[in-house]
Amino acid sequence: MAFPRMHLEPEHEMFRDSVRRYLKEELSGDVERWREQGHVDREAFRKFGEQGWLCLWAEEEYGGIGVRDIRYDQILQEESVRWTDIGFFHNAHSMLVGPYLDRFANPAQKARFLPGVVSGDVIMGIAMTEPDTGSDLAAIRTRAESKGDHWLLNGAKTYISNGIIGDLFVVAAKTGEGRGQIGLFVVTSDMEGFSRGRHLKKMGLPVQDTAELRFDNIRVPAENLLGDPGKGFAYMTECLAVERTMSAISSMAHAQTAFDLTLEFVKERRAFGRPIGAFQNTRFVMADLRTRLDAVQSYLDQCVMLANEDKLSPEDAASLKLLSSELQGDVVDAGVQMHGGAGFMDEYPISRMFRDARIARIYAGTSEIMKEIIGRGLGLGERELR
Catalytic residue positions?
Answer: 243
d(CA 115, CA 346): 40
DSSP bridge partners of 127: 171
Containing H/E element for 144? strand 143-146
Distances (CA, A) of 113 to 48, 163, 265, 273: 17, 18, 47, 62
d(CA 51, CA 70): 17
Assess contact for 150 and 220: CB atoms under 8 A. Answer: yes
Closest C-alpha among 182, 184, 183, 194 to residue 219 = 194
Distances (CA, A) of 133 to 82, 128, 130, 325: 33, 9, 5, 22
Distances (CA, A) of 323 to 67, 106, 161, 293: 28, 36, 23, 10
381 half-sphere exposure, CB direction, 13 A CA radius: 9
Closest C-alpha among 304, 303, 307, 319 to residue 370 = 319
123 half-sphere exposure, CB direction, 13 A CA radius: 23
Torsion-angle region of residue 99: left (phi > 0), alpha (psi -120 to 50) or beta? alpha
